[in-house]
Amino acid sequence: MRKKLDNELVYKTALGFFSRYGYKKTTLEDIADALNMTGSSIYSYASSKQALYYDCISYAIDKWQESVRLASAESSEPARQLLLAFEEAVRYIDSDEQLQLLLRNDPSIFPMFPSVDPIEELNNWAVSFIGDILRRGVECGSFRDIDVDDTAFIIFQIYKYFIISSYVDCSGSRLSVNKHISTIKTLIMDGLLK
């Protein structure tokens, strides 16, 4: 009997197919072949192609969010934490071509105006993460007294728009992406700092 593969290896392999070919053109057989397993054995990792797809999306977004969380932890000052989080979030996606392709092939997984958000729990984590930083900033007097939940939601929406326009629509050049990053940081921070 063959030893079960690590889920991370399965997700990385499947993510390569989903990001390159999209959901519709990727088959479980393609993924199984790349992992040197039979088509039926892939079902020990996911109940269906759709389940594996969303597991891969969660895996990719979790890695992105963990990178942001670790970067922001390098400072204890809320204003710096917010900047570090934003900079790392952009740096991470800028360096992860698979994630860029995944978002480009399926923009519905990172919707701007979701009626149904397939990764709602992950996006809610991001808004909560921003809210925690803002809350600490208000409490220590770095940020003015704001509606933390509303502000966190708006900041995340600005960030989502930036990601969608820069990496999903690909409407921006590298120069305009860098300019947008600078402008967004200035707008957010100058609007928050006392």
pLDDT digits (tens, 9 = 90+) for 150-186: 999 999 988 888 888 877 776 555 556 667 777 777 7
91-143 pLDDT, tens digit per residue, is 898 899 999 899 888 888 888 776 778 888 999 999 999 999 999 999 999 99
Q: Residues 6 or more apart from 158 whose CB is under 8 A from it?
A: 184, 187, 188
| Euclidean distance between CA atoms 90 and 162, whole angstroms | 9
Mean pLDDT to the nearest integer, 45-66: 93
Q: What pLDDT, on the 0 to 100 scale, is given for residue 177?
A: 64
Residues 6+ apart with CB under 8 A from 139: none
* Lowest pLDDT segment from 9-18, 30-39, 51-60, 176-185: 176-185
Report pLDDT for 141: 94
Whether the CB-CB separation of 168 and 102 falls below 8 Å is answered with: no
44: exposed, middle or buried (Cβ count in 10 Å: 0-12, 13-18, 19+)? exposed
pLDDT recorded at residue 24: 94
Say what percent of the chain tops pLDDT 70: 89
Where does the chain have alpha helices with state H? 7-25, 28-34, 49-72, 78-95, 97-105, 120-140, 148-163, 174-192
pLDDT band at 1 (very low <50, low <70, confident <90, very high): very low
70 or 172, which is more confident: 70
